[in-house]
A and B are shown apart, each in its own frame.
Chain A
């Protein structure tokens, strides 16, 4: 009833469509939060397997990485939701299928980050662990991972945003996320300009929240291994002038 009296023009439209888009945004956040632990767990399992001594573990990790990096998320979603039921006989819940597809995909990318960060911990740290008679598990948990974690966080920040962006595809398997809501609103005749601008702003806001959370984690992780914590908000980056000498040479 109240809605019919709202202001005309773009702002009125925005006020009308925003509640629907926010409903969709809640679903987007749910899918993203569901996929995050899946991706993180897979990234650590595959990442640790990737730097293990066993050729088998490395091979499986590599295969997982290449398979999921080699195909597109949207194709995987389609396959899990539409094609797999033909083989297994039952259809997954759309939200669950989306969580699994996004989680498997981003887990593959994450495993490279984990592997790289572990490999980048200086060898003397490992040797010091051996010298102090630490077992392999102790070395990994107490010495290597805390340091690797510091190096992992900035790339994981990017990956988490990629994960959020990948969830934008769940509408193709009929999940009512923010993209699906925007499509419905557009088809009901609301101005696409207003609807899509709001959608972009919602994603931007979610990405900013992710970056803030990751900054806080980075500060804590750096603090724990005795390094200077990075600033919470990006400091104005001091840039070197583009050319050392300004090119004016007689």
Chain B
């Protein structure tokens, strides 16, 4: 069996529109959750009270050491019966992706916060800025700027994890490819198109991130 161009061209438009719609939606929404929650967790790691720091560290370690699929299944199948919370498959995917990667971005933010020189904190004290003001106008703007490229890398990582959402019945580019493959008994073309889609988005994106790294001089 060889590559069939007619078949490939006939399914490509449908696959790419799904890919752009569902995959990118899951990516950006998941990243939004991850970046926001990651910052909260990072601040939790720097909390003055160890009763917050300890649990936050435990949550981060737990989320990082268990696979995304297991977490997806847990939230998708357990939450509706045990907690009475039921979400659509895509919403579940976005939340789980967001929480999973928040555990990673928390470390990123933490490294950014740690890299803000001590003099900046002292200057904020000298200028009589309040604690919240010190964080929002002195520390975080510098910390986040430093870690932007790393966050960009995680955005690409989230993008590449989205096909796992097919396992909880989300029809993204891979899910559609599987469907088309089983309908036509030809997997070669749909799976290859899905793979190329990821390559064609991820490689230019990682070049952009690398350029960003150079511009920010990190």
Residue B85 is within 8 A (CB to CB) of chain A in the complex? no
Residues of B within 8 A of A82 (CB): 181, 187-188, 191
B166-201 residues at the A interface, CB under 8 angstroms: 166-167, 174, 177-178, 181, 186-188, 191-192, 194-195, 198-199
Judged by DSSP, the binding face of A is: helix
Could you tell me the distance between the alpha carbons of A70 and B160 in the complex, rounded to whole angstroms? 8
With both beta carbons as reference points, the residue of chain A lying nearest to B202 in the complex is identified as A70
Residue A200 is within 8 A (CB to CB) of chain B in the complex? yes
Q: Are B187's CB and A203's CB within 8 A? A: no
Q: Are A243's CB and B64's CB within 8 A? A: no
Q: Are A245's CB and B125's CB within 8 A? A: yes
Residues of B within 8 A of A172 (CB): 167
Residue A192 is within 8 A (CB to CB) of chain B in the complex? yes
Residues of B within 8 A of A76 (CB): 195
Residue B122 is within 8 A (CB to CB) of chain A in the complex? yes
Smallest beta-carbon distance A128→chain B, Å: 30
Residues of A within 8 A of B62 (CB): 204
Residues of A within 8 A of B194 (CB): 75, 78
Interface string of A172-191 (1 = CB under 8 A from B): 10000001001100100001
Q: Are A247's CB and B187's CB within 8 A? A: no
Q: Which of A74, A197, A208, A241 contacts B48 (CB 8 A)?
A: A241
Q: A71-B198, A165-B67, A247-B134 are in contact. List 4 more A-B contacts (CB 8 A).
A: A84-B188, A193-B81, A247-B131, A249-B125
Identify the A interface with B (CB < 8 A).
Answer: 66-67, 69-72, 74-76, 78-79, 82-84, 86-87, 161, 164-166, 168-169, 171-172, 179, 182-183, 186, 191-193, 196-197, 199-200, 203-204, 207-208, 239, 241-245, 247, 249
